[in-house]
Structures are given as C-alpha cells and as structure tokens.
Structure 1
C-alpha cells in the first residue's frame, strides 16, 4: 500500500472513531456545545482528507491530460474541483 493511501485510511479510521464518540455523546445527553465542537472537528478532518484525495487525483489526472491532451479530462477535473471548493 502506498504512503498516501495509508495516510488516507488512517485519517478515515480516526474520523470513524470521532463519529462513534459523537454518537455516544448524544446517547449520554452531553451538552450541545460539546457535540457541536466535536462535529466541527469531524468536518475539519473530512475537509483535510478530501483535500488530500483531490490533490492525489488532480496530479494523476493532470498526468493523463498531458499525455492524452483530452479536454474532457480537464473539464471533469475542473468540475470536481468546483464541487470541492463549495
């Protein structure tokens, strides 16, 4: 397994654990403020992980575009980036 994939899986496992923790917080009637803080942390972790995946995909896609000069690939990459940046 390459280092990037390993890093992504570690991050996703950590996020999964955070989500389970939030579920327990809800079950235990913890303060809304604490739950919201944890949700914000999960959102930030997802954004960071998404950025890593987008970066990896963009580099791979750009190599393919350079080799094939396919404009459809450029449009696909741009659409993906626009969705991510919303």
Structure 2
C-alpha cells in the first residue's frame, strides 16, 4: 500500500504531546543501552523494556485516536464516497497487520 504524504494530517495540539512522549521514550531506550553496557540484572532490563513497549503503545493509541477523530471522521462526514472507502480500507489493513 502506498503511503500518502499530505501536508497537515495530524491535529496541531497532538504533535507536541507525541514529540514529548517520543523524546522520553528515546531517553528510556538510551538508558536501557547503558544498563546493558553496565551489565545490569536481566529482570531490571526486562522491566525497562516493558515500560518502553507500554509507552510506545500509548503513543500508537494517541496517533490512532487522532486519525479517527480527524482523518476518518472527516472522510465519513464528507461528500467523497471514495475517500470514505479508502479510510475504511486503511483501517482494515492496519488491523490486519496488527494481528500478525
């Protein structure tokens, strides 16, 4: 599937929150690398890895929510039936990939 790269899809207020979260996640990942270099206990590493995975899941949820609130809702209330169908198909494909 081809990725469309339009100008401004994400809602303006969502961007800074996501960037802030991703910056914190980046710091967590660097911390995990240091823990490995310092030969830290495996359970401590696994705990931090779970925290990063949970934080990424929260970012993913925020992006999906923004997409549903902004892009999908716009298509569903708009006049273009092809756009509505395309947005529905995108979600179906996304959910199919998540199930793998």
Distance 2:63 2:56 in 1: 10
Q: Which moved more, 1:8-17 or 1:68-77?
A: 68-77
Normalised TM-score (structure 2): 0.76
> Helix, strand or coil for the counterpart of 1:29?
coil
The CA deviation at 1:78 is: 2.4
Q: Which moved more, 1:61-70 or 1:32-41?
A: 61-70
Match of 1:19 in 2: 29
Structure 2 residue 93 is the aligned partner of structure 1 residue 79:
yes
Structure 2 residue 63 is the aligned partner of structure 1 residue 29:
no
The CA deviation at 1:21 is: 0.1
What CA RMSD, in Å, does the superposition of the two structures yield over aligned residues?
1.9
Match of 1:50 in 2: 60
> Helix, strand or coil for the counterpart of 2:40?
coil
Structure (1/2) with the larger helix percentage: 1
Normalised TM-score (structure 1): 0.86
Is the CA contact (8 Å cut-off) linking 1:18 and 1:42 kept in structure 2?
yes
Structure 2 residue 75 is the aligned partner of structure 1 residue 64:
yes
Q: What 5-or-longer segments of structure 1 have no aligned partner?
A: none
Greater than 3 Å deviation, 4+ residue runs? 81-86
Distance 2:62 2:40 in 1: 32
Match of 1:7 among 9, 17, 23: 17
